[in-house]
Amino acid sequence: MSTRNRKDCTITRILLAGVILLTMCLGFSSSAVTAQKPIKIGAMLHLSAVEPVLALMEKRGFEVAINEVGPIQGRPVELIVADVTSIEEMQSEARRLIKEGCNVLIGSSVDSWDKAIVPIAERNKVVLYLTLTGGPELTELGSPWVFRTCPVSPDEGAFQAEWFIDSMMGPLGLEVADVKAGLVYRDDSWGATMGENCSRVLREAGIPIVVEEYYSGEEVRDMTPVILKLKSAGVNAVFSGHFREGAILFYEAAEKYDFNPAVFIGTGAFEGTLQTVETLGVNGAEGLLASNYPPENAPEDFARDVPKLIKVYRETYKEEIETPHYLSAYNGIMFLLDALQRTEDLDSAESIRDAIAATDIPEGEIGIGWGCKFSTAEEPWKGMVGQNMRSFFVGTQVFDGELWQVYPFAVPGKELAIPIPNWSEKR
Least confident range from 21-25, 100-104, 411-415: namely: 21-25
Which are the contacts of 27, defined by CB distance < 8 A and separation ≥ 6?
A: none
Residues of the chain with pLDDT > 70: what percent? 92
Side-chain-facing half-sphere of 346: CA atoms under 13 Å: 23
- pLDDT on residue 404: 97
Pair type for strands 209-215 and 237-241: unpaired
Tens-place pLDDT, residues 205-227: 999 999 999 999 889 999 999 99
- pLDDT on residue 309: 95
- pLDDT on residue 331: 96
Asked if the domains 39-150+328-357 and 154-292+394-426 are classified in one and the same CATH topology, the answer is yes
Mean pLDDT, the chain, rounded, equals 92
Tens-place pLDDT, residues 88-98: 999 999 999 99
- Decide: 49 and 112 in contact? Cβ < 8 Å: no
- pLDDT on residue 218: 85
Query: Could you state, in order of their start, the residue ranges of all structural domains in the chain?
Result: 39-150+328-357, 154-292+394-426
- Decide: 128 and 145 in contact? Cβ < 8 Å: yes
Burial 46-60 (b: 16+ CB within 10 A, else e): bbebbbebbbbbbbb
Report which of residues 300 and 233 the model is more confident about. Answer: 233
Residues of the chain with pLDDT > 90: what percent? 87
Which are the contacts of 341, defined by CB distance < 8 A and separation ≥ 6?
A: 72, 73
Q: Which fold has domain 154-292+394-426?
A: Rossmann fold (3.40.50)
Taking the C-alpha atoms of residue 187 and residue 214, their distance in angstroms, rounded to an integer, is 5
pLDDT band at 287 (very low <50, low <70, confident <90, very high): very high
- Decide: 388 and 136 in contact? Cβ < 8 Å: no
How far, in Å, are 206, 222, 254, 316 from residue 154 at the CA level? 19, 27, 26, 35
pLDDT at position 336 over 90: yes
Residue type, 52: P
pLDDT band at 49 (very low <50, low <70, confident <90, very high): confident
* Prediction pTM value: 0.89
pLDDT band at 20 (very low <50, low <70, confident <90, very high): very low
Among candidates 107, 131, 39, 42, which has minimal Cα distance to 80?
Answer: 42
Tens-place pLDDT, residues 117-171: 999 999 999 999 999 989 999 999 999 999 999 999 999 999 999 999 999 999 9
pLDDT at position 252 over 70: yes
Query: Architecture of domain 39-150+328-357 in CATH?
Result: 3-Layer(aba) Sandwich (3.40)
